[in-house]
């Protein structure tokens, strides 16, 4: 029994039959060894002798110089002898290797159907011995006098699994005999190994040399790898080879020059695969280390996916190594072997050498390919530069640039520009397929780029690179829009790149590229190309912008020149340009009424000829400073020069450097000379006035004070006693003393005035407030103050003012305002009370016209009534309008208008009236429209009053001429007649209220003398003037008005639909029974259903019963409800809130109209109403 480690069994009892068989085995082994030659034959003789004599399978493993073992021989008894190569490929099991260390035999057997555990240390060994049926194992050492150098392993099947001591002794004897034979030839073995290694190395070196020659001329990675593939298989005895290089698809590897690509299924699955895939090539690339798999089983265990490889049954071993260039891995190589292969150090070194050479050549090829791509990019950029230089039309250039990128740099290209309002304008989009271009255009119009996305792009100013447009990217971009996602998928985009277009440092657009059909993807190198193209696009935009700006600047310069000439021509000042060296006037627009050419001809003699002798020395002294003047420095002086009439005029002259010569010295001066003779006289008068004012202030009965901000004290004059009843010595100098006496309701107002002065908003301010008198009463005072400031800082130093008691004046003003208020109320009431009977008379005449017989005398009588009612209404309107103008209560409704059209329409409106009086009317208008802004109603009223006035004082057979023309930015309208004329003494008074010229003593034309006063008021509200001319009685008169031609403000024109006329339900609310009855008759004659109410409460009741469509309501009603209350009540009632409410009233002021609209009325109509207008109000 052996003491060797391992699981052992007790051999069976001694049996002489094994010893007899052992002697026969030894004799046979000796014979075989004697006839063999060399170590291999000796090893082969040993295993062939013991199988099947002693065992069913046998192996011999020898110890190598590096301490590892190598299996040199194997044999298997039939019928399993086909597994001999697999048994030869296995390595010595670790449990059996203990025999090498101990030098003692080890035997073991197993019960059941599994091999001994010593033979199941690896999956390959367990599977093979299970197939062979091995159930017992015996390992014995092979020795020489130098020690143990190998192991002979015997395996027996189940039917021969019992081992006896005799078996062990025979095996030991065989091992001793084999050891002696092997030891005798060991030197031969070592010599042979060295010779074989040398031959192998020489062969490999030659193969490597040929490989270097073959790949030296390769220009593509595919050619390089095809050459390396063949040599690598030859050098290592491999049957298959393949390479993986980074794919253009980011994060993926591409299988290149591989036998597997010949098979369609393999190509479809593994032509490209992710870097993270569980495959030998991916792991070698990812981890940067060599992977050795000596058996198929170890490969499939590590990489189960390889089971799907169609030719995996022919791959029993493989090695995968990274292709490393300097400090990075650029690919991976794999070699496959059909039989299990044991990789020694030389194999690994050779594979790594081939991998290193491959990486070096691939880098060279990659550099070459990159140089080709770079050359292609440079050609692209060069062509872009040519486009940029060929046109200033930026849109055309950008479209050409987008087209240029196809197909060398993109399948898709687009250029978008960002407008100032945040919108995106697509100026170019290009693709080889026009249908797809149209699809993208429609998508852009339907789904414009969100503003937030544009703002983020502008803010970052960085390119956007999406190396791979995965479906997740498309889903995220669609933001839940299924239709957008569907169309985006149709485009089949692979990779996306967008670069910002900058113009003067600001992002003003983007140029975008995309790969779709081409199997290419963008990387960091492409970003630089895109940025370069974007810079060129930006340059195109900048050039176009600059060109536009230059053209605009040229136009502006021309406009400025023309403007300068026009301004100089229009300016009353002298504008000149003088040569600083010669003193000659290069340009002068005018000069004190001297001839311009004569002034220019004087040249340097200008100053001695025209400057006052007393002022000339100072002028010449200041002129000597011109050569040292700096830009922005002005030469300012005042002196006298001789006018063309011989008098001397004071001039304020200011000159600046206009141009400089090449040495930087002033070449020309630009100056302005202003005649200030009148201003100087005015200033002198003002000085005297101020002196007079100072003396008057001393004499005024009031308080004069000075507030010193430095000392925070106030000095007051003795006049304070007249204001508050205190003597000046009784009052403290503290400023707060006076403020504390101001009425509480006025303190805020007074403080605001003082703060306004201190904030430099004004230099002088005045205000009124109440101040407490000593006797406890409050006095109204008028306070005026001005500030004195520090010139440097603007800080307030002093506040000087005066305070006057205006209590009596305030009382008088309040009384006047009260009287004015009462007058206004009286006029409104008067208008209302007079309009009511006029309305009834007007309606009655309309009824008579509708119902009365067509008798000529009645017609004439009705005409008289109508004209007199109209005349009475005009008198009321004039009286009220004049009152509003006087109180500043009349406002204009300015709107765009054509004065020619307004004058023409107004003249035609009055033509029948004038011709009826026996006079002729002529109109002269300019050929073109005269646009302005004004109140057309009031302007028509002005012209109507002038025509009415002319008609009154023109006898039958006379002539009235109306003319309109433009003169220096103003419209001039004249009305001339050849009537009785105006006395010279009356011309200045005819525009005053209630004044009439005594042209006719019989007063047959009547009137209150308000028409021309109203004309002047309305014209002046428009910023115009009015004047009258006449050569006296019998010579006619001409009244002329001038109006500024304002730029009309734009206004929307509202289309008016034709009025629909049909019978309506009408409710009349009128306390004047006559007026109400007449209105009823007029409306009923038009087919309307009419009811009448005389009070507000009656109106509400009748409205609920009638549900009127139109309500004509007076404002001044008896009882608790006036017209405003009625309107509000009707608007609140659901049955009547939709009715048309018309205020038909004698109150016609603007405040009355506003109150009517606020109460809910739709219209405000002043009595008496024109029957035709009444029909429009009700029937529309």
Burial 1071-1090 (b: 16+ CB within 10 A, else e): bbeebbbbbbbbbeebebeb
What was the pLDDT predicted at 199? 58
Contacts 24+ apart (CB under 8 A), 249-256: 249/468, 249/494, 249/521, 250/467, 250/468, 250/521, 250/523, 251/275, 251/276, 251/468, 253/277, 253/281, 253/282, 253/285, 253/331, 253/332, 255/281, 256/221, 256/222, 256/225
The pTM of this model reads 0.34
Residue 405's CB: how many other CB atoms inside 10 A? Answer: 23
Residue 494's CB: how many other CB atoms inside 10 A? Answer: 21
Distance CA 975, CA 250 (A): 91
Instruction: Give alpha helix (H) positions in 661-709.
Output: 677-699
Question: For 391-549, CATH number?
Answer: 3.30.450.40
Distance CA 749, CA 763 (A): 17
From the number of C-beta atoms within 10 Å of its C-beta (0-12, 13-18, 19+), residue 564 rates as middle
Helix (H) or strand (E) holding 70: strand 69-76
Which residue reads 């090695």 in tokens? 319
Distance CA 727, CA 718 (A): 7
CATH class of 571-681: alpha beta
Residue 760's CB: how many other CB atoms inside 10 A? Answer: 12
Distance CA 652, CA 637 (A): 6
Ranges in the chain annotated CATH 3.40.50.2300: 832-875+1060-1180
* Residues of the chain falling short of pLDDT 50: 1-15, 998-1004, 1006, 1050-1059
The whole-angstrom distance between residue 879's C-alpha and the CA centroid of its chain comes to 59
Q: Helix 165-216 and helix 345-390: axis angle, to 10°?
A: 30
Burial 308-328 (b: 16+ CB within 10 A, else e): ebeeeeebbbbbbbbbbbeee
Distance CA 279, CA 287 (A): 12
Distance CA 201, CA 550 (A): 78
Superfamily of structural domain 16-196: GAF domain (3.30.450.40)
Is CATH 3.40.50.2000 the classification given to domain 895-1044? Answer: no
Distance CA 495, CA 469 (A): 5
Residue 710's CB: how many other CB atoms inside 10 A? Answer: 9
Q: Which two tokens stand for residue 683?
A: 């200033």
What was the pLDDT predicted at 692? 65
Helix (H) or strand (E) holding 453: helix 451-460
925 HSE (CA, 13 A, CB side): 15
Ranges in the chain annotated CATH 3.30.450.20: 571-681, 703-805
DSSP reduced 3-state for 352 = helix
Helix (H) or strand (E) holding 923: strand 920-924
Contacts of 1153 (CB under 8 A, 6+ apart): 1164
Ranges in the chain annotated CATH 3.30.450.40: 16-196, 217-372, 391-549
| CA dist 205 → 226, 231, 353, 590 (Å) | 19, 11, 11, 105
Give the tens place of pLDDT for each residue, 787-826.
Answer: 888 777 778 888 888 888 888 888 888 887 777 667 666 7
Ranges in the chain annotated CATH 3.30.565.10: 895-1044
Q: Where are the beta strands (DSSP E) in 247-311?
A: 252-256, 272-274, 291-293
Q: Helix 807-851 and helix 1171-1179: axis angle, to 10°?
A: 90
Q: Where are the beta strands (DSSP E) in 661-791?
A: 666-675, 703-708, 713-716, 764-772, 778-789
Distance CA 1141, CA 1150 (A): 18
Superfamily of structural domain 703-805: PAS domain (3.30.450.20)
Is CATH 3.20.20.30 the classification given to domain 832-875+1060-1180? Answer: no
Name the CATH code of domain 217-372 (choices 1.10.1040.50, 3.30.950.10, 3.30.450.40, 3.40.50.10890).
3.30.450.40
| CA dist 772 → 731, 741, 780 (Å) | 13, 5, 9
DSSP 139: E
Of the candidates 407, 611, 642, the residue with the CA atom closest to the CA atom of residue 519 = 407
What was the pLDDT predicted at 771? 93
Q: Helix 856-886 and helix 1011-1021: axis angle, to 10°?
A: 50
Of the candidates 671, 687, 602, the residue with the CA atom closest to the CA atom of residue 642 = 602
From the number of C-beta atoms within 10 Å of its C-beta (0-12, 13-18, 19+), residue 552 rates as exposed
From the number of C-beta atoms within 10 Å of its C-beta (0-12, 13-18, 19+), residue 994 rates as exposed
Q: Are 33 and 177 a contacting pair, CB within 8 Å?
A: yes
Of the candidates 1179, 963, 1168, the residue with the CA atom closest to the CA atom of residue 1090 = 1179
The whole-angstrom distance between residue 1127's C-alpha and the CA centroid of its chain comes to 51
Peptide bond into 208 cis (omega under 30): no
Q: Are 1025 and 991 a contacting pair, CB within 8 Å?
A: no
Q: How far apart are the first and last CA of the chain?
A: 134
């Amino acid at each position: 029994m052996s003491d060797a480690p391992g699981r052992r069994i007790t051999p069976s009892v001694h049996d002489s039959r094994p010893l007899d068989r052992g002697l026969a085995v030894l004799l046979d082994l000796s014979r075989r060894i004697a006839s063999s030659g060399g170590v291999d034959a000796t090893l082969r003789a040993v295993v062939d002798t013991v199988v099947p004599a002693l065992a069913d399978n046998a192996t011999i493993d020898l110890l190598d110089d590096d301490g590892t073992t190598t299996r040199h021989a194997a044999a298997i008894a039939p019928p399993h002898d086909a597994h001999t190569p697999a048994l030869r490929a296995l390595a010595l099991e670790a449990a059996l290797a203990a025999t090498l260390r101990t030098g003692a035999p080890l035997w073991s057997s197993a019960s059941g159907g599994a091999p001994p555990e010593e033979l199941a240390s690896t999956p390959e060994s367990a599977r093979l011995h299970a197939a062979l049926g091995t159930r017992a194992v015996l390992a014995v050492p092979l020795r020489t006098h130098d020690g143990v150098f190998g192991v002979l392993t015997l395996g027996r099947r189940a039917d021969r699994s019992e081992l006896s001591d005799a078996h062990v002794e025979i095996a030991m004897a065989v091992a001793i005999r084999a050891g002696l034979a092997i030891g005798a030839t060991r030197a031969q073995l070592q010599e042979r190994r060295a010779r074989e290694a040398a031959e192998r190395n020489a062969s490999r070196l030659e193969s490597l040399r040929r490989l270097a020659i073959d790949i030296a001329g390769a220009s593509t990675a595919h050619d390089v790898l095809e050459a390396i593939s063949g040599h690598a298989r030859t050098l290592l005895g491999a049957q298959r080879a393949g390479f993986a290089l980074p794919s253009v698809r980011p994060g993926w590897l591409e299988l290149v020059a591989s036998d597997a690509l010949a098979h369609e299924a393999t190509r479809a699955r593994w032509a490209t695969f992710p870097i993270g895939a569980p495959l030998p090539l991916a792991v070698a690339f990812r981890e940067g280390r060599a992977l050795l798999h000596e058996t198929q089983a170890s490969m499939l265990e590590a990489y189960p996916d390889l089971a799907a490889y169609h030719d995996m049954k022919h791959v029993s071993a493989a090695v995968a190594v990274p292709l490393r260039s300097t400090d990075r891995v650029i690919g991976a190589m794999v070699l496959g072997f059909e039989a299990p292969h044991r990789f020694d150090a030389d194999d690994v070194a050779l594979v790594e050498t081939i991998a290193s050479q491959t990486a070096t050549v691939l880098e060279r090829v990659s550099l070459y390919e990159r140089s080709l791509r770079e050359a292609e990019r440079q050609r692209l950029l060069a062509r872009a530069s040519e486009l940029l230089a060929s046109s200033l039309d930026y849109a055309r250039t950008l479209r050409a640039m987008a087209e240029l990128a196809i197909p060398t740099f993109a399948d898709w290209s687009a250029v978008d520009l960002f407008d100032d309002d945040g919108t995106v304008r697509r100026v170019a989009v290009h693709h080889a397929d026009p249908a797809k271009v149209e699809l993208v255009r429609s998508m852009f119009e339907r789904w414009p780029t969100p503003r937030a996305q544009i703002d983020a792009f502008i803010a970052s100013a960085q390119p956007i690179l999406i190396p791979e447009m995965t479906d997740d990217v498309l889903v995220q971009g669609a933001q839940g829009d299924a239709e957008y996602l569907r169309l985006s998928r149709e485009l089949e985009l692979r990779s996306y790149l967008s670069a910002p277009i900058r113009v003067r440092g600001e992002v003003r657009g983007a140029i975008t590229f995309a790969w779709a059909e081409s199997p290419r993807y963008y990387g960091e190198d492409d970003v630089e190309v895109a940025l370069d193209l974007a810079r060129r696009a930006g340059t195109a935009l900048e050039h176009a912008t600059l060109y536009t700006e230059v053209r605009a600047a040229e136009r502006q310069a021309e406009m400025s020149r023309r403007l300068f000439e026009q301004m100089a021509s229009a300016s009353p000042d002298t504008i000149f340009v003088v040569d600083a060296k010669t003193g000659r006037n290069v340009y002068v627009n005018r000069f004190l009424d001297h001839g311009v050419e004569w002034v220019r001809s004087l040249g340097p003699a200008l100053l001695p000829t025209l400057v006052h002798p007393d002022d000339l020395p100072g002028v010449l002294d200041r002129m000597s400073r011109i050569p040292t003047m700096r830009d922005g420095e002005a030469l300012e002086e005042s002196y006298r020069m001789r006018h063309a009439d011989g008098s001397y005029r004071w001039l304020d002259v200011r000159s600046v450097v206009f141009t400089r010569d090449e040495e930087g010295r002033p070449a020309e001066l630009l100056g302005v000379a202003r005649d200030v003779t009148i201003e100087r006289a005015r200033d002198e008068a003002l000085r005297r006035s101020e002196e007079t004012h100072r003396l008057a202030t001393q004499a005024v009965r009031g308080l004069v004070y000075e507030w010193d901000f430095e000392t925070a004290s106030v000095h007051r004059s003795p006049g304070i006693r007249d204001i508050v009843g205190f003597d000046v010595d009784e009052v403290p100098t503290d400023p707060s003393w006076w403020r504390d006496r101001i009425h509480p309701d006025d303190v805020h107002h007074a403080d605001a005035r003082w703060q306004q002065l201190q904030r430099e908003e004004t230099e002088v301010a005045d205000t009124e407030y109440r101040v407490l008198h000593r006797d406890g009463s409050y006095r109204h005072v008028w306070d005026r103050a001005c500030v004195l400031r520090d010139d440097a800082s603007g800080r307030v130093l002093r506040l000087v003012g005066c305070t006057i008691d205006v209590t009596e004046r305030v009382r008088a003003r309040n009384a006047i305002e009260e009287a004015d208020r009462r007058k206004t109320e009286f006029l409104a009431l008067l208008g209302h009370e007079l309009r009511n009977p006029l309305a009834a008379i007007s309606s009655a005449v309309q009824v008579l016209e509708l119902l009365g017989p067509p008798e000529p005398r009645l017609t004439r009588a009705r005409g008289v009534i109508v004209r007199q009612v109209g005349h009475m209404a005009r008198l009321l309107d004039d009286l009220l309008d004049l009152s509003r103008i006087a109180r500043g209560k009349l406002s204009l409704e300015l709107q765009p208008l054509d004065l020619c059209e307004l004058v023409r329409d107004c003249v035609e409106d009055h033509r029948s009236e004038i011709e009826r009086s026996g006079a002729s009317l002529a109109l002269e208008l300019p050929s073109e429209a005269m646009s302005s802004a004004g109140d057309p109603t009031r302007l028509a009223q002005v012209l109507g009053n002038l025509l009415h006035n002319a008609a009154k004082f023109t006898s039958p057979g006379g002539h009235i001429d109306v003319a309109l023309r433009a003169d220096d930015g103003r419209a001039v309208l004249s009305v001339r007649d050849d009537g009785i004329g105006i006395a010279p003494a009356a011309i200045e008074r005819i525009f005053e209220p209630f004044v009439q010229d005594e042209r006719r003593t019989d007063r047959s034309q009547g009137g209150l003398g308000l028409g021309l006063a109203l004309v002047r008021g309305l014209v002046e509200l428009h910023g115009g003037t009015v004047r009258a001319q006449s050569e006296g009685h019998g010579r006619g008169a001409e009244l002329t008005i001038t109006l500024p031609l304002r730029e009309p403000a734009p206004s929307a024109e509202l289309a008016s639909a034709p009025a629909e006329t049909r019978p309506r339900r009408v409710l009349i609310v009128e306390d004047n029974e006559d007026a109400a009855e007449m209105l009823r008759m007029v409306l009923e004659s038009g087919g309307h259903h009419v009811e009448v109410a005389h009070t507000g409460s009656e109106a509400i009741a009748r409205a609920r019963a009638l549900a009127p469509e139109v309500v004509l309501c007076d404002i001044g009603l008896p009882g608790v409800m006036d017209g405003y209350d009625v309107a509000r009540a009707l608007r609140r009632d659901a049955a009547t809130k939709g009715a048309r409410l018309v205020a038909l009233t004698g109150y016609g002021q603007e405040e009355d109209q506003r109150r009517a609209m606020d109460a809910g009325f739709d219209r405000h109509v002043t009595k008496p109403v024109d029957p035709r207008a009444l029909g429009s109000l009700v029937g529309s």
